[in-house]
Structure 1
Amino acid sequence: MVVLKSITILTETYNQFIRITEKIEDAVRESGIQNGMVHVISKHTTTGIMVNESLECLESDIEDFLGRLAPEEGHYAHARMLRDYGSTAGNPTGHLKAHITGNHCHLIIQDGEVVKGGAQEVYFCEFDGPAKRTVLIQAAGE
């Protein structure tokens, strides 16, 4: 059986980490799937999905690290007029940060529950907000 759920996230800031673990666990319970996999995928190119420990200081460290890898004041070819869009692209750092974090994660479902380490949380990462975002949660198994 395969069950797909879509969730909407309204982000509030340009860069933001939002824990979505509970939403994923709820979706798995609602699916009725006892054993299988859950796939979590962002539908956007300037957002990410990551699994990490939920500590405010670590979130800050990750944001600082990504900011050093893709500094806002850097020179980017994407920061120019794009005729196809009819506007200037001002979000190259969002694309780069999303490329680093990835846009998905996969977790095991066992006995109807998401299997993860005790400190692991799933984050939705906003790198070009605020915006209305969509995340797909697909539970597959039996």
Structure 2
Amino acid sequence: MKISHHELPLVTEAPIQILDVTDAVRDLHATSGIRNGIVTLISRHTTAYVNLNEQEPMLQQDMLTHLKRLVPRDGDYRHNENPVDGRDNAHSHLMGLFMNASETIPIVDGELRLGSWQSIFFIELDGPRPERRLSVHFMGTE
């Protein structure tokens, strides 16, 4: 059994942003030596998440619109009365209730076993942020 750990540094530029990290994860996989196993991705943040979905620009706009409607930024949130880091970001935490902090993807015969339309996204809910990190853990056999 081989285990390989990586940190993928990310920069976000918008309050809510969907970053496609599929190619970056594939590049890390290429260096891992894992042919059969799993890769687990975990966001190290409470206002940024990991998601598998379709890479299509209009759908991504729909996703952003849906999130903003679901949890408006200007809601009356208690967390914003005394924010820990000075950011009024209760809406970001509340949006995160509908997302996953991690995803696990099988690796079979040297390939990430993603569906035809699936891409791996890092979803920023409290940007912009100059430094975010996605932990990427490979485990399996060579």
TM-score w.r.t. the length of structure 1 is 0.93
Q: Write the deviation string for residues 84-138 of structure 1: whole angstroms up to 9, x where unpaired.
A: x4x5440011111222121111100011110111110010001111111000010
Q: Does 1:136 align with 2:139?
A: no
Contact 1:14 1:130 in 2 (8 A): yes
Q: Does 1:116 align with 2:117?
A: no
Partners of 2:101 and 2:69 lie apart in 1 by 20
Computed over aligned residues only, the root mean square deviation of the Cα atoms, in angstroms, reads 1.2
Partners of 1:37 and 1:73 lie apart in 2 by 40
Which residue number in structure 2 is paired with residue 9 of structure 1?
10
Which residue number in structure 2 is paired with residue 27 of structure 1?
28
Deviation, 1:78, is 0.7
Give the letter for the 1:51 counterpart: L
Give the letter for the 2:66 counterpart: F
Stretch of structure 1 that moved more, 95-104 or 8-17 = 95-104
Match of 1:105 among 83, 103, 121: 103
Partners of 1:102 and 1:45 lie apart in 2 by 10
Q: Does 1:94 align with 2:92?
A: yes
TM-score w.r.t. the length of structure 2 is 0.93
Identity within the alignment, %: 31
Unaligned 5+ residue runs, structure 2? none
Paired residue secondary structure (1:116)? coil
Q: Does 1:54 align with 2:67?
A: no
Unaligned 5+ residue runs, structure 1? none
Runs of 4+ aligned residues of structure 1 deviating over 2 Å after TM superposition are: none
Give the letter for the 1:140 counterpart: M
Partners of 1:38 and 1:98 lie apart in 2 by 22
